[in-house]
Chain A
């Protein structure tokens, strides 16, 4: 069933010219670490105005794909386009359209949130007035103001995540690539982050979100992609996935049926 479902759902890609409506395009991306193929011939497009959820079991290739999107890893073959700009040749311009929030957010421990936001705003060359206005808005929206002038080393995970999100959104990116966006956040911030992601898509941008929380993907994603062993095995809207998987109804069931295979089963005896 898995093979048939995958064949039905994976969008066939070729060397066709870029579509103006694509915010992110991955063309036949492959990444190997020695003998291990982390991402295998991945073809994927995320449309403008779309919130895309990227799912997969641990070690399936999600983080490697995200790191390639962010320009941290270079693919062994294939090409990546961000807002129509090739990452391989116009990396700087492409990155200016992109915001990347990793699962372990980075902050300078000895900077305050205000100093960090100031640094990021200037790095992206945002005019002073606009920078101040956006900082003001994001600081209030993400509740960063209570610890704005404290050193980041004293922040909890949630506080760090909120600060990093504010910094990521400061230059009003067209594409937000975010790894596990809601982990460690309180319910109020979860709602705010969801709203912010929706704001980006509503204004014509795109969000590429990797998550293990299937309910989140089910509730807010426009389209869902499932990667397994480095290969994209299914992509489509929740309804498309449901209709292809005849017996399955919830995303959890679809996900588990797609990603379960004989190779995953542990051998009967493991030498210890």
Chain B
């Protein structure tokens, strides 16, 4: 049967084909098995290599995941117990929590599958190799779809395991078959948003080949924006309690429609945990059937027009004339005016690279934008902000949010910038700028951007909370000091543990050095926040006036000195290593 399906190319070709070639060209009808085997080789080789060369890294990653799982498990158990404590509210709130959880997951999975599918189908060098080969287009699309599903569902696994264990603990009478059904429902749910993501990636390649990243990010930002507006509008509606509740249930009712996939999986899991096997199996069947249907439709549509879509996507790399260069140069010259001329040149170059990569700046804009939106409207949630203690508490929480976001931002975007010079380090090495100055230019670049973002958000927070001068100054100074510390850690670690052969910033940030940098950043932020927290408690206890108290000066001084010292040590270590490095 398989032989019958084989395409006998030699027979259809010209008779003057050499005999040996005729016999060799019998293409298999499908290469899915072969591609799976090839992927197994790749994973096996990578695993063996990491195990042999960097066993600590492997153990560290495993331990980090375990820590995250334990933390999430404890958090989820606490949440479920809190929700279940008042019986009536528990009955109402539990399905809502699951509805919102799976709705958010649907959007996140669709979005991440779209980004992954676009990259793997249309941009990766491997795709060009496979498209030029006689592999059936369906095999390429199917493999990339499966790969994107697995990668995109990683977050689901990370959240799902502690969720499942927390549920089984909270609902202690959960039957044994809850576990396989839970896993099954998760597994069959993933392809539904995955299929949407695949179609989205394909549509972007066909309709917006010149600005694919921008379009995917705009769609994602639009979705996040709409969700934020929806929730905000719901929460802040100026209605009486009963009207508010009615409005709330009217809106939430739409989200729990029986036609929506997240409702199926949410109902399925709740039925399973309550011991309703028949109902849970029904939802498993419905979700699975629809997932299969959605996958077949998506793969068939993309396969049918894959070659033209691939061809159109290549147009994105065609020559484009940039007219924004002069304005960017001017903005960079002004922004980095305080730097010596050669270091300023390097900083302006980094600014151009950053702003011309939508994946880089858009994430920063989204993070900082959402944070600014929150701190700008926080007084609408906290109704009694005239109380000084509450003011101090909110100001401290705002500082916490800013510092944690900054730690994420610097580890993800600042850490890789030294490694990204790897490809052109030889060129920079020929310039009359020492490597120390090069690193310091990168530090100045990162510090300028993070300071601008952090001080803007903290400025809004201080203005909305109407904090008195000394406390406002203390918060601004603490956030500035944290910027110095975090940039020092990221740049210093980036120079100490660079990945010069890697060109993907996400992979650099996700490497061993990036993980260590993130851990140090988090520890630094926590230490700074503990100091600021103690200061806030003292201020709240003593009350705040127009002058700085000794307590404030002491704790603030510790934050400033601590951050500067850490930055100095990390930068010195990074520079020393970078100076000695051969490229």
Interface residues of A (CB under 8 A from B): 20, 33-34, 36, 38, 48, 67, 70-74, 83-85, 91-93, 95-98, 100, 102, 104, 106, 108, 110-112, 115, 119-120, 122-127, 130, 151, 171-174, 203-205
Contacts and interface: CB of A to CB of B under 8 A. Distances in A.
Contacts of B34: 119, 122-123
Contacts of A120: 133
8 contacts: A34-B210, A91-B307, A95-B133, A96-B134, A123-B135, A174-B13, A204-B16, A204-B18
B286 to A, nearest CB: 37
A115 to B, nearest CB: 5
Contact of A100 (B24, B132, B314): B132
Given A92-B27, A115-B41, A130-B24, A110 B49 contact: yes
Contact of A96 (B25, B128, B307): B25
B14 interface: yes
A86 B40 CA distance: 35
B7 A92 contact: yes
A72 B24 contact: no
Given A72-B311, A97-B13, A125-B6, A33 B18 contact: no
A127 B26 CA distance: 9
A104 B126 CA distance: 12
B132 A205 contact: no
Nearest to B312: A74
Interface residues of B, number: 44
B42 A108 contact: yes
Given A91-B307, A96-B9, A115-B41, A204 B128 contact: no
Contacts of B135: 123
Given A122-B34, A125-B28, A83 B14 contact: yes
Given A72-B311, A124-B134, A48 B16 contact: yes
Contacts of A72: 128, 131-132, 310-311, 314
B21 interface: yes
- Best-surrounded residue of B16, B31, B319 (most CB of chain A within 10 A): B16
A119 B38 contact: yes
A99 to B, nearest CB: 9
B363 interface: no
A96 B310 contact: no
A205 B23 CA distance: 16
A96 B27 contact: yes
A110 B18 contact: no
Contacts of A112: 45
B432 interface: no
Contact of B9 (A67, A93, A115): A93
Contact of A111 (B16, B25, B42, B310): B42
Nearest to B314: A73
Given A93-B9, A125-B27, A71 B38 contact: no
Given A96-B27, A111-B45, A71 B18 contact: no
Given A71-B131, A108-B126, A115-B45, 7 more contacts: A33-B319, A84-B14, A85-B13, A93-B27, A123-B34, A151-B45, A204-B18
A48 B134 CA distance: 21
Interface string B192-218: 000000000000000000100000000
Contact of B38 (A100, A111, A151): A111
B308 interface: yes
B61 interface: no
B318 A34 contact: yes
B19 to A, nearest CB: 10
Contacts of A83: 13-14, 17
B46 interface: yes
A71 B7 contact: no
B129 interface: yes
B459 interface: no
Given A123-B31, A126-B24, A92 B134 contact: yes
B307 A97 contact: no
B7 A110 contact: no
A74 B315 contact: no
Interface string B92-135: 00000000000000000000000000000000011011011111
A164 B134 CA distance: 16
A46 to B, nearest CB: 14
B136 interface: yes
B45 A124 contact: no
Nearest to A82: B13
Contacts of A85: 12-13
Given A108-B126, A111-B41, A172-B24, A93 B12 contact: yes
A107 to B, nearest CB: 9
Interface in B452-504: none
B20 interface: yes
A74 B7 contact: no
A18 to B, nearest CB: 10
A205 B16 CA distance: 9
B367 to A, nearest CB: 32
Contacts of B46: 110
A171 B27 CA distance: 11
Which of A34, A85, A127, A174 counts the most B-chain CB atoms under 10 A from its CB? A174
A97 B9 contact: yes
A249 to B, nearest CB: 35
Contacts of B25: 96-97, 124-125, 171
What are the nearest 7 A-B pairs in CB distance? A33-B318, A95-B134, A74-B311, A106-B129, A70-B132, A96-B134, A172-B21
Given A92-B7, A97-B9, A126-B24, A106 B128 contact: yes
Contacts of B28: 122-123, 125
B134 A205 contact: no
A34 to B, nearest CB: 7
B23 A130 contact: yes
A20 B14 contact: yes
A100 B128 CA distance: 11
Nearest to B12: A93
A100 B133 CA distance: 8
A95 B132 contact: yes
Contacts of A34: 210, 315, 318
A136 to B, nearest CB: 15
A85 B14 CA distance: 9
B200 to A, nearest CB: 22
Interface centre among B12, B27, B134, B136 (most CB of A within 10 A): B134
Given A93-B7, A111-B38, A111-B42, A174 B17 contact: yes
Contacts of A20: 14, 16
A130 B20 CA distance: 9
Q: Point out which of A48, A74, A115, A125 has the most chain B C-beta atoms below 10 A from its C-beta.
A: A125
Contact of B136 (A67, A92, A204): A92
Interface string B295-326: 00000000000011011001100110000000
B21 A127 contact: no
Nearest to B8: A93
A93 B126 CA distance: 21
Contact of B49 (A70, A151, A174): A151
A135 B42 CA distance: 20
A36 B318 contact: yes
A102 B131 CA distance: 13
Nearest to A126: B24
Contacts of A171: 21, 24-25
B12 A73 contact: no
A123 B133 contact: yes
A172 B22 CA distance: 9
Contacts of A95: 132-134
Interface string B53-91: 000000000000000000000000000000000000000
A37 B92 CA distance: 63
